[in-house]
Structure 1
Amino acid sequence: MPDFETLSRKIGVGGSDPASVRKRIEAMERLLEGLFVVPGTKQRFGLDFILDLIPVGGDIVGAAMGAYMVWEARNLGMPKNAYVRMAGNVGLNALLGAIPFIGAVPDFFFRSNTRNLKIIKKHLDRHHPGTAIIDG
């Protein structure tokens, strides 16, 4: 039976190469921002919005998951100003979410993880064009 390292390399989730990083951050953004659809609309929401409904602990978990994307950006060798801006997005999201229950509303529209994904994709498209995926 193959070990974890071999399996993760085959499906592209365990590597440190830019293509693997791109897959992981896109999956994280989808989990946090676009997992569900509001019935009758095209408006998506994810785990980040749901976590904001849990006072204190939910904001901490959501911020930690958002910080993971910043960590991946740092490991990609992105410029410091890019991941500092990403950290600011995560911090603002955490501050907005700190308002019990009401804080989920601005988070529904701010979408810090989607903003951060765009920053990372812009870097990857410029410096690692082979990682680009054509959306259908």
Structure 2
Amino acid sequence: MDRQTANAIAELDLLAVLLDSRWRLPGTPIRFGLDALVGLVPVLGDAATGLVSAYIVLRARKCGAGNLLVARMLGNVLFDTVVGSVPILGSIFDVYYKANNRNIRLLRRHLIRKVARNSQTVIRHR
């Protein structure tokens, strides 16, 4: 993975944490982010965080995510946005589902596998 991709993933990771797990409920292991808070604002809150989540997926595409991975990530965003739009219960759902953190994990796993495959190809050609 090149330096530019690594920097982009680090930025996306910070954004995902801000949306999904920035703060912790005192005395519990439960973490939440802006997605759960902004989602309390009917319609606009979930639309806004859905757009930011879609931006993460678009940047993931530029980092090397393939069509199947992008589709899976968009599915996570869509699911999170639709279920998260249910008043009150949607914000509780957002606390537990964490679509953005999921998507960053998927992207990291994909890129690690890609690097491993490329390394094996180089070794075979020697």
**TM-score calculated relative to the size of structure 1:** 0.78
What corresponds to 2:91 in structure 1?
A: 104
AA in 2 matched with 1:66 = S
* 1:83-126, Cα deviation, whole Å (9 max, x unpaired): 11000000000101111222111221111111101111112223
Equivalent of 1:86, from 70, 73, 77?
A: 73
Aligned length: 114
Higher relative contact order (CA 8 A, sep 6+): 2
Decide which of 13, 17, 32 is 1:45's aligned counterpart: 32
Runs of 4+ deviating beyond 6 Å: none
Contact 2:13 2:101 in 1 (8 A): no
Which residue identity lines up with residue 45 of structure 2 in the other structure? G
Where in structure 1 are there 5+ consecutive unaligned residues?
A: 1-15, 130-136
CA RMSD of aligned residues (A): 1.5
Structure (1 or 2) with the greater helix fraction = 2
What is the rounded CA distance, in whole Å, between the counterparts of 1:50 and 1:35 in structure 2?
Answer: 11
Aligned to 1:126: 113
Q: Aligned partners of 2:115, 2:47: CA distance in 1, in Å?
A: 32
**5+ long unaligned stretches in structure 2:** 117-126
The answer to whether residue 38 in structure 2 is matched with residue 25 in structure 1 is no
Partner Cα separation in structure 2 for residue 32 and residue 23 of structure 1? 14
Which amino acid is the alignment partner of residue 57 of structure 2? Answer: V
Cα distance in 1 for partners of 2:40, 2:103 equals: 22
